[in-house]
Structure 1
Amino acid sequence: MNLIIQGTEIENSDLRAVAKLAGASQIERITGEAFRMLDAEPHPEIESFCEETALDFAFVVPGKKLTDFGLVAMDMDSTLLAIESIDEIADLHGVKAEVAAITQSTMRGEINFAESLTRRAALLKDLPENALQSVYDERLRLSAGAEKMLQRMQSVGIKTMVLSGGFTFFTERIKKRLGLDYAFANTLDIQNGRLTGHVLGNIIGATGKGEILEQVRNELGLSKEQVIAIGDGANDLKMLGAAGVGIAFHAKPVLQARATYCLNHVGLDGVLNLFE
């Protein structure tokens, strides 16, 4: 196996220590923040050492190329974006603390997503529609490395998709801004320029994310092994389950436990370093 080590600041002494634990035969530099250790073997102390030194690690099969994939599916809030958009909307309505508490409980898997979104949307009742544009213009931030990752994937022909339990107001604008191929999310009900506190149609939650990913995957004629899914919370479990490679990005423990790889310290461009 190869062992990929990534971090924002990597000390040579830490690299050597990991290589010794893994019995690696050679260390190759990928970028200034990523290194590949050849002929590495798992060791029980690698995980704890990397946690202590703020390093991400991943054991990967040699020869696995980025061009082996045909689709990447990404969660939006706290994954593709460095914000929780619904929390920022709530802040403009004076209910951020209440909404954020529900958001975090949902991400930990403590509340059913449909119930969670229904409760959070109700708290936004009577908020002016233009508040959504204010959040997009003033508060929206992409996660570190997002554009670099997407540009590289798009350059090799990988289809890109955002699949969110959030709102179409944001996913449609992000789709256009980043040149994504697909965008799926929930639609807020707006009447007379104000939010009604309701969500239109069937709510896209954990199950919906998995089903939509499978549908798009099949339409593209791709196998499960040709799909990468990236998320951060319990709502992304079924989406990652519908992909050959599931990546937990700065994620809750419930998702990290089920993911193929975990990135806790580097940006989304760290995904690129997992493949040759």
Structure 2
Amino acid sequence: MFVVTLIAAGKLTDEVVREAIDRLASTGHDVGAPHWIDEHDAADIYFQGSLVSARKELAHIDHPTLDIVIQPQGDRAKKLIIADMDSTMIRCECIDELADYAGLKPQIAAITERAMKGELDFRAALAERVGLLGGMAASFVEECRRERVELTPGARTLIQTMKSKGARAVLVSGGFMSFAGPIGDAIGFDRMIANELEIVDGKLSGKVIEPVVDADAKLATLKAEAEALHISLAETLAVGDGANDIPMITSAGLGIAYHPHPAAAAAADAAIRHHDLTALLWAQGYARRDWVLG
């Protein structure tokens, strides 16, 4: 049994729900009656058939704010979330904002964009970008975090709600611990993992302290955390936006690409393009009355 979750906050109509049912039925799926999670916000449709076929068919629904998540019904409420930080839990790329302080944002942002698309090796791109920041006063890092970083809407509500249901939350970032530590604490993560910038005489040396947190590290964290909790990967959720998130997204029980680059969207079980992070609560079947508002 599978479940389709249609999400269009305030704009989900009976007609859209009926179109989804008709599309599934016309392509040979055995479809049950729909269920509103929150009326006009999110609805579930349960069906039996092909997950791949359903995803392909429902992608043809023409709606300006519709996000669709299709997944197995079992293990829907996840016990572990592994989340990316930059452009996922926060609204910016920290290294690009640091580059702005150094007057290097265009050069560094271009490298970031190519790395997130999967056009550049992440480790090499990180080393190149951090190298350009060599000589920056370490105090600028804290100043940048305070002045430039905004939490993504829904971040605290997502994490606090999942934790209230007994889930564990881990923030794992290819960015920097000087950002991830305070940001993770503010959102409510149980653990934060990120790269450490080397500081010498109060300035950035232009190097990252090994080991580097990259795509492999993110995947290893997902597996290690699931093992420590004695749960299967089917009971996990991973969310991110870029190419270095793909291994963890494809290995989690539910892999979500959040306002993603194309490579991540293509690899994920579902892409959230229109809504904030609370969409991941509807995807798990949680109605607004169950949310812990952040």
User: How much has 1:40 moved relative to structure 2?
Assistant: 7.6
Q: Where in structure 1 are there 5+ consecutive unaligned residues?
A: none
What stretches of structure 1 move > 6 A for 4+ residues in a row? Answer: none
User: How much has 1:82 moved relative to structure 2?
Assistant: 1.2
User: How much has 1:128 moved relative to structure 2?
Assistant: 1.6
Distance (whole Å) between structure 1 residues aligned to residue 93 and residue 48 of structure 2 = 38
Alignment equivalent of 2:41, drawn from 12, 18, 33: 33
User: What's the counterpart of residue 267 of structure 2?
Assistant: 258
User: How much has 1:171 moved relative to structure 2?
Assistant: 1.0
Alignment equivalent of 2:254, drawn from 245, 251, 258: 245
Cα separation, partners in 2 of 1:55 and 1:190, compared to 1, 3 Å = same
Q: How do 1:58-77 residues align onto structure 2 when only pairs under 5 Å count? A: 58-62=69-73, 64-66=75-77, 69-77=78-86
Q: Does structure 1 residue 225 correspond to structure 2 residue 234?
A: yes
Q: Among the aligned pairs, what percent are the same residue? A: 30
Q: Does structure 1 residue 56 correspond to structure 2 residue 64?
A: no
User: What's the counterpart of residue 19 of structure 1?
Assistant: 21
Question: Does the 8 Å contact 2:198/2:204 carry over to 1?
Answer: yes
Distance (whole Å) between structure 2 residues aligned to residue 254 and residue 166 of structure 1 = 19
User: How much has 1:143 moved relative to structure 2?
Assistant: 1.3
Alignment equivalent of 1:161, drawn from 163, 170, 175: 170
TM-score (norm 1): 0.91
Question: Does the 8 Å contact 2:156/2:188 carry over to 1?
Answer: no
The root-mean-square deviation of aligned C-alpha atoms, in Å, is: 2.0
User: How much has 1:43 moved relative to structure 2?
Assistant: 7.4
Q: How do 1:64-213 residues align onto structure 2 when only pairs under 5 Å count? A: 64-66=75-77, 69-213=78-222
User: How much has 1:98 moved relative to structure 2?
Assistant: 0.7
User: How much has 1:269 moved relative to structure 2?
Assistant: 1.1
Aligned residues, how many?
A: 273
Give 3-state SS (helix, strand or coil) of 2:81's partner.
Answer: strand
Give 3-state SS (helix, strand or coil) of 2:60's partner.
Answer: helix
Distance (whole Å) between structure 2 residues aligned to residue 145 and residue 224 of structure 1 = 24
Distance (whole Å) between structure 2 residues aligned to residue 116 and residue 184 of structure 1 = 19
CA offsets 1:14-60 (integer angstroms, 9 cap, x no match): 3443333234553322124212234487275521324x523111223
Distance (whole Å) between structure 2 residues aligned to residue 226 and residue 43 of structure 1 = 21
Distance (whole Å) between structure 2 residues aligned to residue 183 and residue 43 of structure 1 = 33
Distance (whole Å) between structure 2 residues aligned to residue 3 and residue 215 of structure 1 = 29
CA offsets 1:220-239 (integer angstroms, 9 cap, x no match): 22221121111111101122
Question: Does the 8 Å contact 2:241/2:257 carry over to 1?
Answer: yes
User: What's the counterpart of residue 7 of structure 1?
Assistant: 8
CA offsets 1:180-211 (integer angstroms, 9 cap, x no match): 11111100011222111111112111112112
Q: Where in structure 2 are there 5+ consecutive unaligned residues?
A: 26-30, 286-294
